[in-house]
Structure 1
Amino acid sequence: MTKISHATNRAASLNLMKDFSLEMTGKDIPALIEARPLIPLGTRINVTFLGNEDLEMRVAAAKAVRELGFVPVPHLSARRLKSRQQLEEFLGRLQEVDAAGHLFVIGGDPAQPEGPYSDSLAVINSGVLQQFGVREVGMSGYPEGHPSIPSETLWRALEEKSAVLQEQGLDTLIVTQFAFDTDPVAGWIDAVRARGINAPIRVGTPGPAGVKRLLGFARRFGIGANAMIVKKYGFSLTNLMGVAGPDNFVNDLAAVLAEHSAGGGPGLAGPVGLHFYTFGGLAETATWVRRFNSGQE
């Protein structure tokens, strides 16, 4: 294995942190305003599509992202859409506020579709997206699998969506579910590239947050969080009142990528960055990023 110096590892970590993206909900406009001075202008900010939020909240959040100097990436949950009309209304409203260029399309939580779209591919195949100025479509990646979807189904969906988006002339981006362990993430990236999918990948990374809160989200999304994994990540299951940040995770992932690159390994080729899930808040995550980049770990 090619040995990587500390200086090279640090450079790799900083490179991985470049052009990171963040996530917010429709309720987080005040938090975004507060965090604005801490976030680089032009940062991508994903706006979720939750069942307890409505059209006005989603559009208002996307508009705020744009007006504050960032790039809005609204989410669209296929199974939550009740009709083609609702899809067109949402995209039309986004286009009005100049927030339709980048879209993240997911299947969504409902077990049964509330309308005509059973999954994200059905939305992509509808032909509606381009009519409203969508230029790039993001899709989900699951390095540790999905609690209710077989692995082969996930891979088939990723391959099909990649092919269809390429045929449609739309740019593609993959954003993964968050993880605590770099090993399954690195293996999954390897497998993506081996399948000939060269789209940029943003690895889902938990921003700094309370340990108990992080574990709650991990259970909800089927993320591995046993004692060995969380110790590697940087916190202990015996201290649920503590706060954990992704320092170890980012450094470890950057080191793995650097080793593959230095060793000529083809598996991890292609652009890889980070997407932060702001479980502890936008300002807290942005502050952590600044501290990490300045070397104050």
Structure 2
Amino acid sequence: MSDFSLEMTARDVPHLEEARNVIPRRTRINVTFLEHETLELRLGAARRVRELGFVPVPHISARRLESRARLEEFLAALAADGAAERVFVVGGDPVVPHGPFASALSLIESGALPEYGVWHVSVAGYPEGHPDIDDAELWRALEAKATELARHDLAGDVITQFGFDVDAVIGWIEQVRERGIGLPIRVGVAGPAGIRRLVRYASRFGIGTSAGIARKYGFSLTNLMGTAGPDRFLHEFAARYRPEVHGEVRLHFYTFGGLRATSEWLTDFTEGVRR
């Protein structure tokens, strides 16, 4: 539970300010790159994360960038605010790239990141697969990104999509290590949220079925108005985690807009484990 990271959107700044006293200082906070959010909004969010004493990790969506100049504009502005050291790069949702970058790999290959002070790059991992990309291609991409980060002398890690199946996550991590990828891994975890919202997000990202999610998380689909937390997932994962096999692993919490609720839940959960 030490050194966990959180995720927010650029519009969640008021929620971050509300939760600031229950989040440990220097916590890594990822700021997503959503299509409807302006460059100024994204930059302002990353700046505010840093001002509040946390570590900003701005997302860069490769296929949403219209040009290399647009990428460099974003990176230069982040650097001016002292928020460019860590970034998360992902291909993004558009099927057809808006500009020259067809993938996160092509963005890393461009060499632009270290030119603006980036030294740590997070990339995506998909333990339960991706609805639009086959597993073989996902593995080729992850191996290539790890190689390219090393070629550019960039530190990095893998942040996974949130999931509900410990078997899938453990098995995927073991495959990562068997393939010789030594990057630290941050396992994506859905923070406490309404059951209806959890099911909706899981369906959107192709992560299991509603019945499967309910079985793994221990809630009933007959009570969609209730809430659920990742207690069972985390206890089972901790029981099966072996550092000598799985390497360095941390947790990354998807807050679904509930930064304070997730942070308070984390505090209570950690204290309960220590007792």
Taking structure 1 as the reference length, the TM-score comes to: 0.90
Aligned length, in residue pairs: 274
Cα offset, 1:267, TM superposition: 3.7
Residue in 2 aligned with 1:28?
A: 12
Residue in 2 aligned with 1:289?
A: 266
Contact 2:8 2:257 in 1 (8 A): no
Tell me which moved more, 217-226 or 270-279: 217-226
What amino acid maps onto 2:81 in structure 1? Answer: V
Residue in 1 aligned with 2:183?
A: 199
For 1:59 and 1:284, the matched residues in 2 are separated by 25
What amino acid maps onto 2:54 in structure 1? Answer: F
Percent identity for Structure 1 against Structure 2: 57
Cα offset, 1:226, TM superposition: 4.2
What amino acid maps onto 1:291 in structure 2? Answer: D
Residue in 1 aligned with 2:91?
A: 107
Contact 1:218 1:224 in 2 (8 A): yes
Cα offset, 1:228, TM superposition: 4.2
Contact 2:56 2:83 in 1 (8 A): yes
Contact 1:102 1:135 in 2 (8 A): yes
Structure 2 gaps of 5+ residues are none
> Could you give the per-residue CA deviations for residues 243-288 of structure 1, whole angstroms, max 9, x where no partner exists?
000111111101110xx45xxxx542x1101000002500000000
Instruction: Look up the SS of the partner of 1:28 in the other structure.
Output: helix
What amino acid maps onto 1:243 in structure 2? Answer: T
Contact 1:205 1:274 in 2 (8 A): yes
* RMSD (Å) for aligned C-alpha atoms: 1.2
Residue in 2 aligned with 1:177?
A: 161
Residue in 2 aligned with 1:272?
A: 249
Cα offset, 1:209, TM superposition: 0.3
> Could you give the per-residue CA deviations for residues 51-84 of structure 1, whole angstroms, max 9, x where no partner exists?
0101001000000000000000000000000001
What amino acid maps onto 1:278 in structure 2? Answer: T
Cα offset, 1:229, TM superposition: 4.1
Off by >6 Å, runs of 4+ in structure 1: none
Residue in 2 aligned with 1:5?
A: none
Aligned match for 1:56, one of 37, 40, 50: 40
Taking structure 2 as the reference length, the TM-score comes to: 0.97
Instruction: Look up the SS of the partner of 2:16 in the other structure.
Output: helix
Matches within 5 A, 1:11-22: 17-22=1-6
Structure 1 gaps of 5+ residues are 1-16
Contact 1:202 1:275 in 2 (8 A): yes
